[in-house]
Amino acid sequence: QYAYYYNTTVFSPINGTLYNDSESDLFQKEPYLGSFELLNASGNSSGFDFTLITIHTKPAIAMEEINALHTVVQDYQEQNPEETDIIILGDYNADCSYASSEELWSSPMRNTNYTWLVPDSADTTVSSSDCAYDRIVTTGDLSGRLVGTWGIDMSSFSTSNVSDHYPVWFDLYR
């Protein structure tokens, strides 16, 4: 199951759907695509919308699924050519024993079309391991709205009762 944790006074959901990979079967858990509109300070439309692609890769095939995210982005942009603001986020399992630095740097998801907000040095796990499993990757600067700040929510909300990972977040200009 996927969930978005967001401020309802800042964002308004537009639509959402699972990625259909029934032909190629690229993912064990298909990515979820959700589009949102950014609201201005008055709660009205800012005229800016974006799409989130959420993933939870299978650890044993994490790199295959990370690489396949590039195909998901391409497919989505072919079907929605007006949407250039895409954020690919979730549990990539993109570190430690599941994905090496070399594998990550050779991934099509590391080309110049993408900006990785959560760095390889981050620790997004609740356990004693030090792994950057959870990532936020954008296509460009999100029409100039990307602030560049990101973080890991280590508050009491994000305890091991909810997940074995901390939620990751980023800021956008309104």
Residue 96 predicted with pLDDT over 90: no
Q: Could you report how far apart the first and last alpha carbons of the chain are, in Å? A: 29
Q: For residue 67, what pLDDT is reported?
A: 97
Tokens read off for 17: 């759907």
Best CA proximity match to 50, nearest among 136, 128, 132, 134: 136
Give the confidence band of 43 by pLDDT, cuts at 50, 70, 90. very high
pTM of the complete model: 0.91
For the chain, what percent of residues have pLDDT higher than 70?
96
Distances (CA, A) of 45 to 53, 99, 100, 105, 151: 22, 40, 42, 37, 26
Domains of the chain, earliest start first: 11-172 (3.60.10.10)
DSSP H or E segment with residue 103:
helix 101-105
Residue type, 19: Y
Mean pLDDT, the chain, as a whole number?
A: 90
